[in-house]
Chain A
Amino acid sequence: MTGIVAQNVGRTSGLIKSAGGGGGVWTKIKEITASSDSDISFVDGTDDVVLDSTYPIYVFKFINLHPSNDDVKIGFQGSTDTGSSYGVTLTSTVFLAYHDESDSGTALTQSTTRDEAQSSSFQDIIDDLGNDNDQSASGELWLFSPSSTTYVKHWVSTIQIYNSGNNSVIFKTGGYFNTTSAIDAIQFKCTEGSGGAGNIDAGKIKLYGLGDS
């Protein structure tokens, strides 16, 4: 490459050479930094958020989510009415592995108390998160074809947690929104905790779209 294209390689503003190979690019759509928020929502058409047929796959990345309260669950739900309500019927599985810092307990187990069966509740993707100053959770959630009006909408998540009992926990969920309506908004919030659900005090949630053309 020569000229201005070469000069702009790696830039995040101005003109750049488009990705070769016909796409497959991760496009960062939106980044939200939590600051004592009761919830964080990504709504199609609001604040530059795209959550429609533009991309077949969407990925949320969680960087050091930190709650105001201790022993907190953080869940997510979808909306079919651009965020007016979050209560789509879903069925899910949850399994996790944990190991405590004192080496006294480990497990790899399916959690039948944290999964959902045709429920409109928020699906927990983080459990027992601690609120010590250095405690947090990081990971990702993949959402497939949310705009489809033919199929249900699958997701998978993997999140690593420093929990309130000083355990390292890898928490995995998978499931589907059991609707053929398009999902056009996603909300995250603390659903339960010691002394109440509380807020997401700190951390980042980033939304990416994965292109296929």
Chain B
Amino acid sequence: MSGIIAQNSGRHTGLVKASSGGGGVWNLIKTYTASSDSDLSFVDGTDGVDFTAYDEFVFKFSDIHPSNASTRFSFNGSIDAGSNYNVTKTTTMFIAGHIEDDSDALLTYQTGDDLAQSTSFQDLAAYGESETANDGCLAGTLHLFGLSDTTFVKHFIARTNYMAAGGPYSVDSYTAGYFNTTSAIDAIQFKFSSNNIDAGTISLYGIS
């Protein structure tokens, strides 16, 4: 390198030479803000979403708040651009929890919330239902790998923290598994097991 490019190497202002490796950037693709929505869906080819563009995608959840009690935040995939959300999955789920009054704490596998070759929605918050107090919400991340691949299953890894009813508890929830399909996943939907997503944002990033 020579000239202004060389002079700006390593700088974080002005003009620099783009990464020759083709990125390393968390590329924000789309953010949806919930407003009493029954679901939020990210569909390939809609609103700038392209699930073929990256090897890894990350969803970020912020302030996800349910409209009613007795409900759990969950997700599923689609192989037909959102016509159906029912891809077969096998998953694990474990949590660490701690009640606000300090009378209980736990680290446990959640046998009732994992899936074995099931097409159901996968919970991302398992220990009790989400708290519906005004300040109760969920935050976290969901990583998905190789969604457009047509050779391998599609792995995912999620971690959320949320305020669970019944305490309330602070629950650190770990979900992982695979969509057991070699078809491309071209849409992802999030919803509560019942009622609406009252508020919150979900952002989709592609990792280049």
Binding site for B on A (CB under 8 A): 5, 8, 10-23, 25-31, 48, 61, 63-64, 66, 97-103, 106-108, 133-139, 158, 160, 162, 166-170, 202, 204, 206, 208-209, 211, 213
Structural contact, B176 and A97, CB atoms closer than 8 A = yes
What CA separation (Å) do A53 and B153 show in the bound complex? Answer: 37
Once the chains bind, are B152 and A97 in contact (CB under 8 Å)? no
Q: Which chain B residue lies CB-closest to A158?
A: B157
Judge whether A134 and B114 touch: CB under 8 Å.
no
Closest 7 CB pairs of A and B: A28-B24, A103-B116, A138-B145, A108-B109, A28-B21, A170-B176, A97-B92
Q: Tell me the bound Cα distance from A17 to B13 in angstroms.
A: 7
For B88, give the chain A residue with the smallest CB separation. A101
User: B residues near A, CB below 8 A?
Assistant: 5, 8, 11-27, 55-56, 90-94, 107-109, 111, 114-117, 145-146, 149, 151-153, 155-157, 174, 176-178, 180, 182, 207-208
Among A102, A108, A209, the residue within 8 A (CB) of B116 is A102
A-B contact pairs, 29 of them (CB 8 A): A8-B18, A13-B20, A17-B14, A20-B13, A22-B12, A23-B12, A25-B24, A26-B24, A29-B24, A30-B21, A61-B55, A61-B56, A63-B145, A64-B155, A97-B92, A97-B109, A101-B90, A101-B116, A103-B117, A106-B109, A133-B151, A134-B180, A135-B153, A139-B155, A160-B155, A160-B178, A167-B90, A168-B176, A208-B24
CB distance from B109 to the nearest CB of A (A): 4
Q: How far is the CB of B28 from chain A (nearest CB, A)?
A: 10
